[in-house]
Amino acid sequence: MEVIIQPNTDAAVELVSQLIAREVRANPRAILGLATGRTMESVYGRLVQLHRTEGLDFSRCCSFNLDEYVGLRADDKHSYRHYMNRLFFNQVNIDLRNTHLPDGAAADLETECQLYERRIQESGGIDLQLLGIGQTGHIGFNEPLSPWNSRTRVVTLVAETIRQNASLFGGADKMPRHAITMGVATILESKKCVLLATGTAKARIVAQTIEGTATTSIPATALQLHPHCTIVLDEAAAGELSRTRRRSQD
Ligand code: F6R
């Protein structure tokens, strides 16, 4: 894993946005693996800006998001499809038909998971996977003890994740208890991945992810096995790392 510590959140967001932009410029048909959550909002904001000011072209890109809540339709304002359309897809020139999220409202969730996995494989696989990290150490919604050979499937969200996201739903009782997520193995198969973590709340889990023993108790530690994984942090998220890390001038 390459760990890059930026002086502040804006610089960390800028670097991640530039890594994505670089991928898209080098490979206009890039298959992007995308994430949602609060951390990613400013990344999408910056990519939209790069599209508007520098003509960053997503017209031939294809995307697969990590996860979606079970039971939410695409037009539900809490769904990740709604988040992606609002913050990114509708503001750039990506063809909506080439954007994919699992359908959390599918009648047959098992089949939906298999289809999603097959669609990723048929596309040729993910070139660049963007990742956030939850305080449980989840990547996507792979909660602690997710098997490392797991693939796209329905999972139960743990209490800590519900606590962290409840305010976005107006209370824990309104939040779905299940989600469809790409599996750990699906994520590890991406050709490159970039994980962005910012803020002091992520410092402990970031240190465990980077410096701890790889264990299914902390799903993000599986990234230690990924051949091309970059972790971008701001100073706050890097605050509990014990070793000196490279500072990027990028
Ligand atoms: C969402 C996802 C999650 C989030 C994580 C961090 O698609 O994959 O793993 O990245 O929960 O969320 P925030 O950024 O809200 O702290």
What domains sit in the chain, N to C, each tagged with a CATH number?
A: 11-194 (3.40.50.1360)
Dig out the tokens for 90 from the structure. Answer: 């509708």
One-character DSSP codes across 176-209: -SEEEE--HHHHHTSSEEEEEE-SGGGHHHHHHH
Cα separation, 58 vs 1, in Å, equals 27
Q: How far is the CA of 56 from the centre of ligand 1 (A)?
A: 25
Structure confidence by residue, pLDDT tens digits, 22-64: 999 999 999 999 999 999 999 999 999 999 999 999 999 999 9
Q: Which atom of ligand 1 is nearest to the CA of 161?
A: 11
195 lines ligand 1 (CB under 6 A): no
Per the CB < 8 A criterion, the answer to whether 165 and 174 are in contact is no
- CA dist 30 and 191 (Å) reads 11
Atom number of ligand 1 nearest to Cα 80: 7
Mutation pick for ligand 1 pocket among 36, 64, 129, 202 (CB with most ligand atoms within 8 Å): 36
Residue 94 alpha carbon to ligand 1 centre in Å: 22
Largest CA distance in the chain: 50
CA–CA separation, 145 vs 149, rounded Å? 11
Please provide the distance, in angstroms rounded to a whole number, between the alpha carbons at the two ends of the chain.
Answer: 17
Report the half-sphere exposure of 185 (CA within 13 A, side-chain side).
Answer: 9
CA 210/CA 222 separation, integer angstroms: 10
- Which of 125, 122, 117, 47 lies closest to 89, judged by CA? 47
What is the model's pLDDT at position 88? 98
| Cβ contact 17:109 at 8 Å | no
Sign of CA dihedral 112, 114, 117, 122: negative
d(Cα 230, Cα 19) in Å, to the nearest integer? 10
Please give the average pLDDT of every successive group of 10 residues along the chain, which has 250 residues: 97 98 98 98 98 98 98 96 98 98 97 98 98 97 98 97 93 95 98 98 97 97 98 97 58
Report the nearest atom of ligand 1 relative to the CA of 36.
Answer: 7
The Cα 110–Cα 42 span in angstroms is 33
Among candidates 69, 233, 238, 53, which has minimal Cα distance to 156?
A: 69
